[in-house]
Structure 1
Amino acid sequence: MKNLQFITVQTKPFQVYRILLVLALILSSSSCSDFVEVPLPNSQLTGTTVFESELTANAAMAQIYAQLRDGGILSGLPTGASVRMGLYADELQDYTNSTIALPIYNNALTADNATVASLWTSSYSQIYNANSVIHGVENSTRLPIAVKNRVSGEALFVRALVHFYLLQIYGSIPYITGTNYEINRKVTRSSADEVYTEIAKDLESASTRLPENYSSSDRAKPNKMVAKAMLARVYLYMNKNTEAANEATTVINSPLYAWETDLNKIFLRNSKTTIWQLASATAVRNSNEGTTFIFVSGPPPVCALRADFMNAFETGDQRKVNWTKSVTTGLNTWNHPNKYKLRTATTSSQEYSIVLRLAEQYLIRAEARAKLGDLAGAKEDLNKIRTTAGLPIITSTIATEILTEIQKQRRFEFFTEHGHRFFDLKRSGTADGILSVSKPGWNSSDVLWPIPELELNANPNLQPQNTGY
């Protein structure tokens, strides 16, 4: 029988991190009665376990979800993309004055910056773990087919998701699908088109394996619609607008979701607009985003919303009223994101960290429809967002005006959510025109972060460095 352990090893080029390593150990020639199951507290694998029961397969994925929540790009902590990309673009102002955050805020990154390295290494650690789960589950001889499909589907989704964010930040990257150290240490970077193709392939495979319904009541484990929602985004970024619209429509029409008109209920744990979220670490904790963004007196400990961002809200936009909050100390006033309302623990968790939600699917479909010439359909989707925000409907019949309005609504709908704003500026080709005005340190080459210097030194196949670094 084969055992699995989480152990710490030295791995290059992805440095030292916790990885999931399959160890082929011959325990005995007897039956499964010789196997002793190890309790798995708090969604973390400890000790020796195997991919031959649903319990331990679920625990392996729970460990990966915990890693996503507490480290790397998707974390709601100050080290994650919601803060880092908000600083890098035009959403947030830094108040830490730290040697790590200031270069991000000032668009003055170097290849030896700690955040540049940590986002890369933590992300590839998560990808490695997902690959280990995929291989371990698929090689299991005892897991039922339905369990193998679900767990491998979850891991495929995670692998695609993390590669997607790496691609947006670093540009051409290696797409890692294996766990062989000798192969991984010599990998080369794939073009953006090649990476998108692999991401789409993984998401398509995940959608065929994942169940229609959620396997947990809190929507913290991906189902088929989660994979399709992410696939809709990927197709939009690939300019496959027909496919993007079709996938978004499938999600929108699912009976699992319902539109919410109360802006203060959208980020609650039980919101019907949530497609996928990361559960809190304990039953009483709330989102990392609430802890990170909310402050009750100034100056802000981490960051605050920029004044030019606050001033850009359209008159009457209820998202400004409900999703931002002002804090005054003495003569100074700051504003923080207030999508998540709770910064401390409660009797039971009321807010999780939402990664995918229904509003994005409407705006994906609106953009895809506008690009396909279906302006009436685009406006219908766009106006659903506007009316919920308390804004009047738009009536324009000009495609470029509708597309501009869609980008505007994306800015105020998804601010401080995992880098949406910066990624939208990049893919729309407007980053230079906008950020060169609002960010004095901005250069055209800043649309990509540098590849970490340590990685280039460890694996020359990752050369050349991104332009400007």
Structure 2
Amino acid sequence: MKNFKIFISQYIKGVVSGIYGWILAVFCLCLFSCEKMLEVETPSNQIGKDKVFVDVQTANAALAGLYAGLRDNSPLSGEALGPFLGVYTDDLDSYALTDTNGVLALYHNQQTDTNSTVYSIWSTAYQHIYAANAIIEGVRASALPAEDKNRIEGEALLIRSILLFYLQQIFGASAYPISTDYTVNQSLSRVEAGEVLTRLETDLSRCIQLLSDGYRDVERIFPNRKVAELMLAKVYMLEQKWSHAEGILKTITASPLYSFQNDLAQVFQKNSGHILWQLKPAGPGDPTKEAMLYYFSAAAPTNYALSENLIGAFSSGDLRKQSWMVPVTVNGKTWYRAGKYKNTVNNDTEDSVVFRLEEVYLLLAETLAQQNKTGEALQHINPVKQRAGLSPLASVSKEMLLDEILLENRREFFTEMGHRFLDLKRNGRLGDLQDVKPGWKAFHSLWPVPQKDLLLNPNLKPQNNGY
């Protein structure tokens, strides 16, 4: 309990910095019964860490708190990776009047190690990794039924793995905390990027063993085994283990849980059978964060608008341009806003999609193309193209097919989970941004490690090249 009391003290004092000072509030404050993801009776105030995992209700409530945190303030929130990596690449333009949060610096590729947006991605990821570790430790030491222990540990470990995956992609070498021991975490060194992937292989394989295919909510707001399989396939692709990734991705496309959504208007409807995982808005009727973030009408944008470069990637007959982009004309000038999410009030049909089946299709097409199985790859890119009203691809070379898959990823996933950055990086194509981003340099493939945490823990050095 000594280390736990240290965390409590720091939490009360408001010391919240990166991977060092954050405490899972559910262990020291009340568990929030207002969270609608799980209907649980509120336990007594001041519940202790050793009491949380005595029964399934309180353990589930701790897990629900983690999901609420992901939704409200994390890299997976609809206000984070989508817009931040969108302006960093070439999908979004920023129209912010001031740069109080560092987004304009990202837009101009002029970020430094004191950039507040860079710090927010780093620090909130590690906050939730700590929370996941607290749940993993608690449930492992508990006497809960084996089925519940497996599920809770599996979900928490999966969340930790997803966050570490994005940290590895954005920052490269990253700290890899696996416990809540402050004496260990305060002096962690960064693990080399390749080793992070190796560790993720192990952790995601463990998730696959622990989790089942079944969803525990009809809205799919809790990830299942197939989400873990998708993440493992992504890791394999970064390691260029194409056949490994192919095998896993095919288990997802073959699953009866999912069906390709042929109606473009239904893609972001929460009850669609092509969704793997999504995050539920905070309260009944609340819009998704994306619906509000990208919305502007009858006035020039003051936040984000779709870039001309992105708009130029669509043909006039692409139904996604008609359905997912909204033109706004003011004084003769036209901007386009992202319109994937339609409900800004009284929302009861949309959740924030994290992963959907189209990503599996295009990743599978890519792995097949990389293995020169171009004919089979066409079977997975063409359904996405044809749903958008485009002609299917015929026989093409491997290089042309990989170019088309990269372009199709851009058309399909703009403003979603930083896809453009991740897809370019995986394909070794981030250098393409030099043609449209005057400030882009080769070292911008990574963000700087925040100065604040480098000062707290010199073991995180060296700083990434260029910063």
* TM-score, normalised relative to structure 2: 0.92
- Kept in 1, the 8 Å contact 2:32–2:65? The answer is no
Cα shift readout 1:222-269 (whole Å, capped 9, x = no counterpart): 111121122222222221111111111111111111111111101011
Cα shift readout 1:31-51 (whole Å, capped 9, x = no counterpart): xxxxxx977332698641511
In structure 2, distance between residues paired with 1:14 and 1:38: 22
Cα shift readout 1:377-398 (whole Å, capped 9, x = no counterpart): 1011111111111111111331
* Residue equivalent to 2:329: 328
Provide the secondary structure at the position in 2 that maps to 1:366: helix
Q: Which residue identity lines up with residue 76 of structure 1 in the other structure?
A: G
* Residue equivalent to 1:397: 396
- Kept in 2, the 8 Å contact 1:11–1:181? The answer is no
In structure 2, distance between residues paired with 1:11 and 1:312: 42
1:276 and 2:277 matched: yes
User: Pairwise mapping of residues 300-339 of structure 1 onto structure 2 (< 5 A)?
Assistant: 300-339=301-340
- Kept in 2, the 8 Å contact 1:160–1:200? The answer is no
- Kept in 2, the 8 Å contact 1:22–1:132? The answer is no
In structure 2, distance between residues paired with 1:20 and 1:241: 41
1:261 and 2:262 matched: yes
* Residue equivalent to 1:426: 425
1:446 and 2:444 matched: yes
1:14 and 2:19 matched: yes
Provide the secondary structure at the position in 2 that maps to 1:75: coil
Q: Which residue identity lines up with residue 405 of structure 2 in the other structure?
A: I
* Residue equivalent to 1:87: 87
* Residue equivalent to 1:224: 225
In structure 1, distance between residues paired with 2:159 and 2:457: 25
Provide the secondary structure at the position in 2 that maps to 1:41: coil
* Residue equivalent to 2:125: 123
- Kept in 1, the 8 Å contact 2:276–2:355? The answer is yes
* Residue equivalent to 1:34: none
* Residue equivalent to 1:33: none
Unaligned segments of structure 1, at least 5 residues: 24-36
Q: Per the alignment, do residues 279 and 42 of structure 1 end up closer, same or farther by CA in structure 2, a change over 3 Å counting?
A: same
1:97 CA displacement: 2.8
Q: Which residue identity lines up with residue 209 of structure 2 in the other structure?
A: T
User: Pairwise mapping of residues 17-36 of structure 1 onto structure 2 (< 5 A)?
Assistant: 17-19=22-24
- Kept in 1, the 8 Å contact 2:23–2:130? The answer is no
In structure 2, distance between residues paired with 1:93 and 1:213: 40
Provide the secondary structure at the position in 1 that maps to 2:247: helix
The equivalent position to 1:52 in structure 2, one of 42, 51, 54, is: 54
In structure 2, distance between residues paired with 1:276 and 1:379: 26
1:314 CA displacement: 2.8
Cα shift readout 1:88-137 (whole Å, capped 9, x = no counterpart): 00000001132222101000001111111111111100000000000101
Q: Per the alignment, do residues 281 and 11 of structure 1 end up closer, same or farther by CA in structure 2, a change over 3 Å counting?
A: closer
* Residue equivalent to 1:355: 354
* Residue equivalent to 1:187: 188
* Residue equivalent to 1:241: 242
Cα shift readout 1:6-48 (whole Å, capped 9, x = no counterpart): 952546653543435868xxxxxxxxxxxxx977332698641
* Residue equivalent to 1:107: 109
- Kept in 2, the 8 Å contact 1:175–1:190? The answer is yes
Deviates more, 1:130-139 or 1:228-237: 228-237
Deviates more, 1:10-19 or 1:117-126: 10-19
In structure 1, distance between residues paired with 2:308 and 2:377: 31
User: Pairwise mapping of residues 334-345 of structure 1 onto structure 2 (< 5 A)?
Assistant: 334-345=335-346
In structure 2, distance between residues paired with 1:450 and 1:214: 38
Provide the secondary structure at the position in 1 that maps to 2:22: strand
Identity %: 38
Q: Which residue identity lines up with residue 399 of structure 1 in the other structure?
A: K
In structure 2, distance between residues paired with 1:299 and 1:107: 23
Report runs of 4+ in structure 1 exceeding 4 Å deviation: 4-7, 20-23, 43-46
* Residue equivalent to 1:66: 68
In structure 1, distance between residues paired with 2:32 and 2:333: 52
Q: Per the alignment, do residues 136 and 373 of structure 1 end up closer, same or farther by CA in structure 2, a change over 3 Å counting?
A: same
* Residue equivalent to 1:468: 466
* TM-score, normalised relative to structure 1: 0.91
1:299 CA displacement: 1.3
Q: Per the alignment, do residues 271 and 460 of structure 1 end up closer, same or farther by CA in structure 2, a change over 3 Å counting?
A: same
Provide the secondary structure at the position in 2 that maps to 1:124: helix
Q: Per the alignment, do residues 13 and 413 of structure 1 end up closer, same or farther by CA in structure 2, a change over 3 Å counting?
A: closer
Aligned length: 448
- Kept in 1, the 8 Å contact 2:20–2:185? The answer is no
In structure 2, distance between residues paired with 1:316 and 1:38: 50
- Kept in 2, the 8 Å contact 1:225–1:251? The answer is yes
1:342 CA displacement: 1.3
1:162 and 2:163 matched: yes
In structure 1, distance between residues paired with 2:326 and 2:134: 43
Q: Per the alignment, do residues 202 and 131 of structure 1 end up closer, same or farther by CA in structure 2, a change over 3 Å counting?
A: same
Provide the secondary structure at the position in 2 that maps to 1:435: helix
1:309 CA displacement: 1.1
Q: Which residue identity lines up with residue 90 of structure 1 in the other structure?
A: D
User: Pairwise mapping of residues 347-386 of structure 1 onto structure 2 (< 5 A)?
Assistant: 349-386=348-385
Cα shift readout 1:308-356 (whole Å, capped 9, x = no counterpart): 210121342111111111111221211011111112233xx21111111
